[in-house]
Amino acid sequence: MRAKRYVRLTAAALPTLTWAVVTPWAWAQPPPVPAVPSPGAPAIGRAWPVGSHPVVLRGWEPPATVYGPGHRGVDLAAPAGTPVRAVAAGRVSFAGRVAGRGVVSVELSGTDLRTTYEPVRASVRKGDEVTAGEVVGAVEPTGAHCAVTCVHWGLLSGRTYLDPLSLLPPWLLRGGPTRLLPVLGVPLPGPASAANAP
C-alpha cells in the first residue's frame, strides 16, 4: 500500500504561485476599466428639446466601461419636421452631418457642458448664440435609431456622457410649474382693507 504524500504551501510560496498563474492572463487581457459614476448636471435647462413634455422612448443607460455598450443619451418621440430647441442658452459648436445624420451641438453658457441633438436639419450655424427654447433645427425623417421617429438628445462634460434629463428642473420634468388649488370650505384671501394696511 502506497503512502499518500501531501505538499505544504508556505505563506512565502503562495505569492510566487499566484504570480505564475495570474500573470500570463493579465498580459493577454487588459483589466476592465471600472465604471465611473458620473455626476448629474446642474438643472439649468428651461425647455425640452422637442414639444412641451415628450415621450421618452429610451432613457440614459451609462456604459459600464469607456467603450462598453449603453445608451449615451435620451430618445424623445418626435415626428419628422418637429422643431428642435436648445435646452439652455449657449453657443453652437457644431452644425452639420456626421455619418449621414444631421447633428447640432451647443456649448452651454458658463459651464463645461455640451448638448447634442440628432438627427436634425440645422437652422443655425457654428458660432451662433442661442437662448433657451430657441429653435436650432427640425427633426429629420432619416435614421433607424428608434422604432418611431425620434430625436436623440445627448449631454457631455468634456468627453464624459451625462444624463441629459438632469439638465431639466423637476417642475419641467413633471410637465409644468406647480400651482396651488383652492381648498373646499376655505375662503380665498381678499384684497387688504385700508384699515389693516400698514
**Mind listing the pLDDT tens digit for each residue in 36-70?**
344 567 788 889 999 988 998 888 777 777 677 76
Q: Which residues contact 65 (CB under 8 A, 6 or more apart)?
A: 32, 33, 34, 35
Residue 29 has pLDDT above 80, yes or no: no
Residue 108 is predicted with a pLDDT of 96
Domains and CATH numbers, the chain: 56-61+70-174 (2.70.70.10)
With 0.85 as the threshold, say if the pTM is over it. no
Residue 25 has pLDDT above 70, yes or no: no
Residue 42 is predicted with a pLDDT of 79
Grid coordinates representing 74? Answer: 435620451
* pLDDT band (50, 70, 90) for residue 136: very high
Q: Span 89-106, mean pLDDT?
A: 95
